Amino acid sequence: MKILVCISNVPDTTSKINFTADNSAFDTTGVQFVINPNDEFGLTRAMWFKEKQGATVHVANVGPATTEPAIRKALAIGADEAFRVDAEPTDGFFVAQQLAEVVKNGGYDLVIAGRESIDYNGGMVPGMLATLLDMNFVNNCIGLEVDGTSATASREIDGGKETLSTSLPLVIGGQKGLVEESDLRIPNMRGIMMARKKKLEVLAPAAATNATKDTSFEKPAPKGAVKMVDADNMAELVNLLHNEAKVI
């Protein structure tokens, strides 16, 4: 089985987010980037298939050269080869088109992507990718088993879980549950050294179109000031809750 894991390079959740150019562009100054967590769950599951079933695992990213540390981490975790499409990931449709070309040229049986990235939270790429490739698709995937060309996948639905039988080739949008956080892997020194020798091929972007354009960003409203009320002053507390907060 040949697997492609699609990875995004996203800001660490502890990063302080700011915008530039009149709030129309993301400010990367001082921001630490990591592999998108949903993608990392997928990569870990792919490594399980490699170890248990002898699968070949490749990773692909659409982004500039600054994304290569994240790609190298994926190689250090155990991926066999990597591809970087040398283009800015301007919108979900553009990224899906670029990844579709990688899949077409690679002949993959299983494509694992995160259900969404934690920066823009678009949630578009896996479904678009499956449509462009005319492959079966399971989103919000929290469990996956493969036996030959048959697959059994579990996904989250409102109020529960659904189990599906499908066949390869297959695209999934993975998330936590595909593996647990405790299963995620930290590259060891041997893996890091081996990653330096593994193939990381830079690909020219395919001709593609953008379906959307970011025009501006806006931060959430700041939290209001906190008013402290003496523990013995119940009348004042009730007054504030009733007349100011209007919750009673």
Q: pLDDT tens digits for 8-66? A: 999 998 888 888 888 888 888 889 999 999 999 999 999 999 999 999 999 999 999 99
Half-sphere exposure of 248 (CA within 13 A, CB side): 6
Q: What is the rounded CA–CA span in Å between residue 79 and residue 50?
A: 9
Name the more confident of 31 and 85.
85
Closest CA to 84 of 103, 100, 65, 101: 65
Residue range 84-98: mean pLDDT, rounded:
95
* Residue 132 banded pLDDT, cuts 50, 70, 90: very high
Domain ranges of the chain: 2-216
Contact 75, 85 (CB under 8 A): no
Tokens 């990875």 -> residue: 7
User: pTM higher than 0.85 for the full model?
Assistant: yes
Continuous segment of H or E residues that includes residue 162: strand 160-167
**What is residue 102's three-state secondary structure?**
helix
CB 165: neighbour CB atoms within 10 A? 8
Distance from the first to the final alpha carbon of the chain = 60
Residue range 180-202: mean pLDDT, rounded:
93
Here the tokens at position 64 are 């500039």
2-216 has which CATH code?
3.40.50.620
Contact 132, 96 (CB under 8 A): yes
